[in-house]
Amino acid sequence: MEGVAVVVVPHLKFNQFQFFPIHHNSKFCRAAPCGVPSLTFKLKLKLKLKLKLKQQHHHAFPPISTATDAVSEEDSDNNNNNSGDSIRRRFLKFYESRGHKVLPSASLVPDDPTVLLTIAGMLQFKPIFLGNIPSKVPCATTSQRCIRTNDILNVGLTSRHHTFFEMLGNFSFGDYFKKQAILWAWELSTLEFGLPPHRLWISVYQNDDDAFHIWSNQVGVPVERIKRLGEEDNFWTSGVTGPCGPCSEIYYDFHPERGYADADLGDDTRFIEFYNLVFMQYNKNDDGSLEPLKQKNIDTGLGLERMARILQKVPNNYETDLIFPIIEKASELANVSYDTADDHTKRNLKIIGDHMRAIVFLISDGVVPSNVGRGYVVRRLIRRVVRTGRLLGIKGDGGGDLEGTFLPIIAEKVMELSTHIDSDVKKRAPRILEELMREELRFVQTLERGEKLLEEKLAAALWNAENNKTDPCLAGEDVFLLYDTYGYPMEITKEVAEERGVSIDMKGFDIEMEKQRRQSQAAHNTVKLAMGNGANMADNVPDTEFIGYNNLYAKAIVQSLVVNGDPALQASEGSDVEVLLNKTPFYAESGGQIGDNGFLYIAEGESQPKAVVEIIDVQKSLGNIFVHKGIVRKGVVEVGKEVNAAVDVKLRQRAKVHHTATHLLQAALKKVIGQETSQAGSLVSFDRLRFDFNFHRSLLDSEHAEIEGLINGWIQEATVLETKVMPLDDAKRAGAIAMFGEKYGEEVRVVEVPGVSMELCGGTHVSNTSEIRGFKIISEQGIASGIRRIEAVAGEAFIEYVNARDFYLKQLCSTLKVKADEVTTRIENLLEELRVARNENLCLRAKAAVFKASVIAKKALLVGNSKQYRVLVEYVDDVDAESLKSAAEYLIETLTDPAAVVLGSCPGEGKVSLVAAFTPGVVDKGIQAGKFIGQIAKLCGGGGGGRPNFAQAGGRKPENLASALEKAQSELVAALSEKGN
């Protein structure tokens, strides 16, 4: 007999429901207590509808839960709410209705120095889990976008690995714990998402009897479907020490017909883990022992792509509506059909679908391609997509323009799907598309260079094999160099090599690949939490009250001291000290603005200070605690004492001037080069400002002048600034611009220069633009692909800069004996005279080298059976590289064909110059100058190459030049003697 569980929810803070299990063969049924009668399928549906209506009329209370096995898997197919966007929305709504605050996804660029990218949903809550800052809400729910690249080689190969994915999570900060987390996870899975209970398996930590009994006795999962797993699988740790706890995971069974016997949850062909519950209940000590946490927390993660795969009933995550439209666009460009494609082609299409999501969201969050850090991650992904597209046959833009690009076309499809993930992506579309176009074009050129390098490596392999009488083989490190540095696909390398009769050292390639994989996995792939001295020190220290917007002087109490890195009760003269005050007028470094300087005084009597601390920096730590870093210049500072805190007024004014000038600079840039440009970093210092922004080229002199003109015009207008505190949403609606790298709460500070700019900013600013006095750009340069940097001065620093430049100009006028307006003409004349003199010198050197060459021409050796080959290998003293080239050109024209010339010289300390020149008669015999001289240069600690008939090389070991030239001669003689037979 089948039963139905009708759960009546008590009027409590949370839904405390209870399941009572009944087992019928392989079916999993839940029966109500107190003999609720069996219902027909039709009656059950009516009851379910009635309960849903009741929930609608009593929306202020937690929802009533029902459960029945009578709703078949086929019925759930008719649900139209299984799109990826719907799953995300339903998850967040489910937990919001149960008291959770819905919080936005954090950026992929985390505010955490221990992690390169946001790799987990819990990362934004790390300070709360550590106990460093209190939570503003008892529990929260998020849809967090994440990036992980440690499994990049599994993308497309398995059904579930991704570089970009969304993690749906519910979090409790000391509010509810294990039982409630488990009950809600089950209710969400079986009722909200309608997963058949008999298809769900559970894993728990091997010693976590509490979780086991909740799943078995209260939820009603058969013990046969609950697996106890070890520490490696089901015990979460944040690091060597710190918060930790057991996990429990929910798995979906694609093949329940296989039964219980020998079921392995690690079998990807049968199971997929979709929900992970972490019960953060212990603190791990240095000795490995576990102690219970005062506040037990819940950290969960449900993979959106995995749940979409289950509900949409597709064979892998890639064929869900979250990714498959991107794959279809790539298929269209490649002119292939995904449905009829072979496995290799499908994998390549999946790689493009996955990576393009990661690329678009990374660039949207401010990461630009580069060769370091986060920039390297996005560049590597871009290059992998480009070369994968070429493997699929995509040429140019895929539509006939071979000079075009295809990444922006696919990116537009990603943006179409981004609305409910991050609405700002579409707003940033011009910058994203421009960055992709520029990076793809640059990489295509790199690929072409890789093709040339491959040809050289194959020729060298054939030449070595011929000389050593071995089978030609391309070294594994060379294949990896082509793959990793030049982005040349290994598959193409292998195919081209086989056509030339050259095998590949795949073992060597795999070794190099494994080295890179280990390095990648070691780089910031875990979230590190630790409870060290810093956290202990701050246990009883409240947030610092900042009063520095309106006051530069205040009396405060010393709350805590750190001397030479350790907590202390006092600090004596000469000590490096960190001081925590209950309130402060000192600005702590944030939003690009550096911390204030100044002094702390402890008075003795009415006028004489008993102790003096010079403050040289102020930083924020552990949330909103201000750490005043300085040196005790006099006396002793003690915890609990009152101090007079005084900010250096002149330095504060310099910082205020530069910070407001930064806002004016951003406004001017948007007017001059386009509204799509945005800030990518800043520094507000006492002596200058630095502003990084997205742009693809250097600014023109006319643009510099226009920017400076706008800013100095706004300064002259003497506009009064307006500062307001308002809700974040209101500020955004008003058009306020967020400063790069700044984190915002629900209430934000808005700084407005009326008619010019409005920005969210916690920094200090002038009250009137006239205080800035003047503005001047002192430099503008590129610092990364698509990122420019302007450095400028304003206020007092502007006056100092102008005075210094005037002083230098006067000195220059005195030296050149001209007036200021004649300096440019005089310098141009001097440069022209210098250029003429250098050309005359080079001409004389070349003539000297040619003369030396004419002397040594008679030393050429005649080799071969008919003595038809001329070989000349010589050292030429006191000749630079360019003159050596002239000497070789003279000799190759003087000696009759066939002839081979190799010359070497030492043009300076620690330098070697080599040149090889071969006539057509030598080249036709298979001896190429570029490959030959490159091997010889290696003996001198260098390298080089060039054309088959002429090549140059260099080195750093002059002491090896004589032996290198001897080897060159012997190899040429041997090769040409053999060729001539």
Residue 919 belongs to domain with CATH number: 3.10.310.40
Residue 574: give its domain's CATH number: 2.40.30.130
**CA pair distance 192, 273, nearest whole angstrom:** 18
> In the structure, what pLDDT confidence band is assigned to residue 791 with cuts at 50, 70 and 90?
very high
Residues 556 and 637 placed together within one structural domain of the fold: yes
The SS3 of residue 629 is strand
**Quick one: CA dihedral 513, 518, 522, 525, positive or negative?**
positive
Q: Which pLDDT score, from 0 to 100, does residue 622 have?
A: 66
Q: Tokens standing for 852? A: 């030396």
Q: Which pLDDT score, from 0 to 100, does residue 126 have?
A: 83
Tell whether the model's pLDDT for residue 89 goes beyond 50. Answer: yes
> In the structure, what pLDDT confidence band is assigned to residue 617 with cuts at 50, 70 and 90?
very high
Beta bridge partners of 66: 6
Per mean pLDDT, which range of 113-117, 678-682, 810-814, 869-873 is the poorest? 113-117
Query: Percent of the chain at pLDDT above 90?
Result: 48
Best CA proximity match to 600, nearest among 631, 566, 574, 569: 631
- State the pTM of this model: 0.58
Residues 432 and 491 placed together within one structural domain of the fold: yes
| Other CB atoms within 10 A of residue 840 CB | 10
Rounded mean pLDDT, 389-403 = 86
Per mean pLDDT, which range of 49-63, 175-189, 461-475, 589-603 is the poorest? 49-63
Residues 312 and 362 placed together within one structural domain of the fold: no
Tell whether the model's pLDDT for residue 35 goes beyond 90. Answer: no
| Other CB atoms within 10 A of residue 468 CB | 9
Best CA proximity match to 765, nearest among 649, 659, 662: 659
Higher pLDDT, 330 or 33: 330
Q: Of 591, 612, 647, which closes a domain?
A: 647
Domain annotation covers residue 432: yes
Using CA atoms of 489, 494, 496, 499 in order, give the dihedral in degrees to the nearest 10: -170
Residues 6+ apart with CB under 8 A from 821: none
Q: Which pLDDT score, from 0 to 100, does residue 734 have?
A: 77
Q: Which pLDDT score, from 0 to 100, does residue 145 have?
A: 93
Residues 368 and 431 placed together within one structural domain of the fold: yes
DSSP letters for 27-62? EEEE--STTPPP--HHHHHHHHHHHHHHHHHTTTSP
**CA pair distance 331, 329, nearest whole angstrom:** 5
Q: Of 317, 349, 372, which closes a domain?
A: 317
Decide the pairing of beta strands 101-102 and 139-147.
parallel
Residues 861 and 795 placed together within one structural domain of the fold: no
Tell whether the model's pLDDT for residue 626 goes beyond 60. Answer: yes
pLDDT tens profile 218-233 = 999 999 999 999 998 9
Q: Which pLDDT score, from 0 to 100, does residue 33 have?
A: 32
Tell whether the model's pLDDT for residue 29 goes beyond 60. Answer: no
**CA pair distance 858, 784, nearest whole angstrom:** 54
Query: How is residue 318 annotated by DSSP?
Result: G
Q: Which pLDDT score, from 0 to 100, does residue 607 have?
A: 61
Tell whether the model's pLDDT for residue 212 goes beyond 90. Answer: yes
DSSP letters for 125-153? GHHHHHTSS--SSSEEEEEEEEE--TTGG
Residues 417 and 383 placed together within one structural domain of the fold: yes
Residue type, 348: N
Tell whether the model's pLDDT for residue 892 goes beyond 90. Answer: no
Most confident of 301-310, 386-395, 418-427, 959-968: 301-310
> In the structure, what pLDDT confidence band is assigned to residue 846 with cuts at 50, 70 and 90?
confident
Domain annotation covers residue 392: yes
The SS3 of residue 918 is strand
**Please, is 539 exposed, middle or buried when counting C-beta atoms within 10 Å of its C-beta (0-12, 13-18, 19+)?**
exposed
Domain annotation covers residue 835: no
Q: Which pLDDT score, from 0 to 100, does residue 114 have?
A: 64
Q: Which pLDDT score, from 0 to 100, does residue 533 have?
A: 44
162 is in an annotated binding site: no
In Å, what is the CA distance from 400 to each residue of 333, 335, 439?
Answer: 10, 12, 20
761 is in an annotated binding site: yes
**Contact call for residues 477 and 508 (beta carbons, < 8 A):** yes
| Other CB atoms within 10 A of residue 78 CB | 7
Rounded mean pLDDT, 15-41 = 32
Q: Which pLDDT score, from 0 to 100, does residue 771 have?
A: 96
Q: How many domains does the chain have?
A: 5
Residues 676 and 773 placed together within one structural domain of the fold: yes
Residue type, 54: K
**Angle formed by the axes of helices 490-499 and 429-468, nearest 10°:** 30
Higher pLDDT, 896 or 49: 896
Rounded to 5°, angle at Cα 258 from 255 and 264: 85
Rounded mean pLDDT, 147-163 = 86
Tell whether the model's pLDDT for residue 853 goes beyond 70. Answer: yes
Residue 243: give its domain's CATH number: 3.30.930.10
Domain annotation covers residue 5: no
Domain annotation covers residue 25: no
Residues 97 and 159 placed together within one structural domain of the fold: yes
Domain annotation covers residue 97: yes
Residue type, 42: K
**CA pair distance 696, 694, nearest whole angstrom:** 7
pLDDT tens profile 644-681 = 999 999 999 999 999 999 999 999 999 999 887 888 88
**Contact call for residues 529 and 566 (beta carbons, < 8 A):** no
Residue 745: give its domain's CATH number: 3.30.980.10
Tell whether the model's pLDDT for residue 140 goes beyond 70. Answer: yes
Q: Which pLDDT score, from 0 to 100, does residue 571 have?
A: 92
Tell whether the model's pLDDT for residue 411 goes beyond 50. Answer: yes
Using CA atoms of 383, 386, 390, 394 in order, give the dihedral in degrees to the nearest 10: 180
Per mean pLDDT, which range of 3-12, 287-296, 854-863, 866-875 is the poorest? 3-12
**Quick one: CA dihedral 62, 63, 68, 73, positive or negative?**
negative
> In the structure, what pLDDT confidence band is assigned to residue 742 with cuts at 50, 70 and 90?
low
Q: Domain residues for 109?
A: 77-317
Higher pLDDT, 583 or 53: 583
Residues 359 and 502 placed together within one structural domain of the fold: yes
> In the structure, what pLDDT confidence band is assigned to residue 833 with cuts at 50, 70 and 90?
confident
Q: Give the H or E element holding residue 180.
A: helix 178-187
Domain annotation covers residue 7: no
Residues 678 and 638 placed together within one structural domain of the fold: no
Tell whether the model's pLDDT for residue 42 goes beyond 50. Answer: no
Q: Tokens standing for 166? A: 């969304």
Rounded mean pLDDT, 48-75 = 35
pLDDT tens profile 457-505 = 888 888 888 888 888 999 988 888 888 777 676 767 887 788 788 999 9
Tell whether the model's pLDDT for residue 9 goes beyond 70. Answer: no
Q: Of 284, 317, 350, which closes a domain?
A: 317
Tell whether the model's pLDDT for residue 80 goes beyond 50. Answer: yes
Residue type, 777: I
Q: Which pLDDT score, from 0 to 100, does residue 739 have?
A: 58
Domain annotation covers residue 444: yes
Q: Which pLDDT score, from 0 to 100, does residue 34 have?
A: 32
Rounded to 5°, angle at Cα 204 from 202 and 210: 110
> In the structure, what pLDDT confidence band is assigned to residue 36 with cuts at 50, 70 and 90?
very low
Rounded mean pLDDT, 715-735 = 87
Residues 432 and 475 placed together within one structural domain of the fold: yes
pLDDT tens profile 237-251 = 866 677 889 999 999
Residues 592 and 642 placed together within one structural domain of the fold: yes
Mean pLDDT of the chain: 84
